[in-house]
Structure 1
Amino acid sequence: MFEPREISLRERIRLNLISAMENAGVSQVQLAERLGISKGTVNNWARGNNSPDVDMVPKICNVLGISILDIYSPAHVEKKEVMIPEKKATSITDAAIKLAKDYDSLDTHGKRVVRAVTDEEKSRMEQEAAAARWRSGKQKQLMRFLRQKRRETEAADEPANVQRFPVPYYLQASSAGYGEWAESGYAEEIDLVKRPPFGTSFIVPVNGDSMEPTYPDGCKVFVRRQTEIRVGEVGIFFMDGKQWIKELGEGELISHNPAYPTRPMTDDICCQGLVLGICDDSYFAKAY
């Protein structure tokens, strides 16, 4: 299926800015001087390291003789059709484009009011995010306390000569199905009573049956952290904002369960590690 090529909003702003500067015959040095900022700031915009903030965009438009919509509209490279395996969400919604048009048509007072409302909402969201982080921190403190108490209790019930092997355990499951949203990178340390496979970096649970019978739904797997694996090996991958456990193929991720199709790899794919095997109950003193 052919659809317009999609790029990130930051890349879109970068391409539109460069195009507008070329059309206006304005260099990075000249733009920096007219805006009263450093050349390094403009260079960072042009390289896509960051984007101009909302207050700076109208000033840029005035210097280059363009509208705010020209900065945020799809760049010319997005108008070329390319073959993609799945339809993705657009980087900017029609509603956002309409808001940009409305903002561009406002007078100075109207823009100032919009800016004030936006700042107030951003402040509210930042405060709510800070409160959520505080609650999360308290929850992690409680979990650490409970883990310590559990270890003390287990240590009192077991012989002193039992050797333990601490390994990080990620609560975020790796999907053996249609993708597990990668929402949490938090790991807790668990103690094994049997030495894990050589090179083990961490343990993750498996959610779904697409890798059965090799890796059943609900099992835990040992993973060695590495950014590349060989074709035919099973690894943990981050792709499309989700975390997967799949066999690496030629340009695709392969399920062992024939009921699931292969999944074409996208540009954002990142290998997080090589799967070394299943961590079964024999590695734990008690069921975990």
Structure 2
Amino acid sequence: MDEKKRMQVIAENITYYRKQRGITQKELAKEVGITPSTMTDYMKLRSAPSFGVIQKLADFFGIKKSDIDTTFKEEKSTIPSTTPTQAPDSLVTAINNKVVYLDQELKEPRHSAWISHGERLLDEQNTVENSTNTVDEPVVTYYTYNYYDQPASAGTGQYLNDVQVETIELPVDYDADFVVPIYGDSMEPEYHSGDYVFVKLSVNLANGDIGVFEYYGDAYIKQLLINEDGAFLHSLNSEYNDIKIDRDSDFRIIGEVVGMYREG
């Protein structure tokens, strides 16, 4: 089952059990400790709940996790009995428990990155084992960045202040202070929704620079344009109007976009 279909199944199951309980989306979000906008994202198939949230939903409805996410596998070991060439039972159990814990606790997009990395390692292993001539596989280096899970908007704007900083590992190296995901299409074709942008803190951006800006409490990724008519936050997508800024605007420069990474 692909990820989009999985999100659709999860959304439909949440809706079914919510209506059985007779509560609104907003009330359900409060019960499981998430924001109403996050619950809306699940329903609109913009994101999937983490396994931790799925557990909370299952506990609230009094059902199994697999009743919400049909791809969920119950926590039981499928590791065969050990032989003299295998690891001791205690080590196998510890590793298995660790895998289950990571599978439940990692949130998107780190959960998908973890799965993708594991699949890459398995593909590399199978390639080596099935090859008659062993070839050294290139080692992918991952770099750790500060990460703000709240996206910078390439459209209507998203709040960035007071968002908890986390970390993310990506296979590209930039001199950046933090990474944020993009949401929206106003910077297409250069930047797409779901891309990660790397930001270097700076208050000195010049005409034509791409940056992340705070405008009346919302964070935007835009191009800064300065001309005889004034200063504007410009969208690369011609379907969006420029945002005019002046000395009376509630506006600040957060930093310059120094790089971008797109998965797949």
TM-score norm. by structure 2 comes to 0.45
TM-score norm. by structure 1 comes to 0.42
Greater helix content: 1
